[in-house]
Amino acid sequence: MLGRVNHVAIAVTDLAAATECYSGTLGAKVSSPMALPEHGVTVVFVELPNTKIELLEPLGETSPIRAFLDKNPSGGIHHICYEVEDIKAARAHLTGQGARVLGDGEPRIGAHGKPVLFLHPKDFFGTLIELEQV
């Protein structure tokens, strides 16, 4: 069911500083910032030959990233995103196995313009999982 790793997301307190670190210090290609109000974040993508790193900064007081940063003031890995061929079939399989989908369970459009779902971290050894349909 799982395809390749699409990206690893890192929550940061200062997106501009994190972008400069990845582009300047590490020499990576970094996208322009993109505000995603429906997800409560501003993101940039660090492009690597085999995957991407998504840097997330809270957008607004109700951002789920703000709560994560309250618990992890230095930031850190927030989630891992795997690609799936059919997100609704993946959801049906996973919920049939007892996994919990966050939110209302319906796919939403993510940063890449494709349907995404998030799976409860307690069902996956403390790791928040994002699924993105390719």
Beta-carbon neighbour count of residue 15 at 10 Å? 18
Q: Among this protein's residues, is 130 annotated catalytic?
A: yes
Alpha carbon dihedral 124, 52, 27, 19, in 10-degree steps, equals -70
Beta strands in the chain, from DSSP E residues, in sequence order: 5-11, 29-30, 34-36, 41-47, 52-58, 76-84, 108-109, 115-119, 128-133
| Residue range 42-79, pLDDT digits in tens | 999 999 999 999 999 999 989 999 999 999 999 999 99
Q: Output the pLDDT for position 134.
A: 95
- Domain 5-133: which CATH class? alpha beta
* pLDDT of 21: 98
The encoded tokens of residue 40 equal: 């409560």
- How high is the pLDDT of residue 61? 87
3-state secondary structure of 122: helix
pLDDT along the chain (134 residues), means of 10: 97 98 98 95 97 96 93 97 98 98 96 96 97 97
pLDDT of residue 133: 98
pTM summary value: 0.94
Catalytic residue among 54, 83, 130, 132: 130
Structural domain spans, the chain: 5-133
The residue with tokens 């079939």 is 89
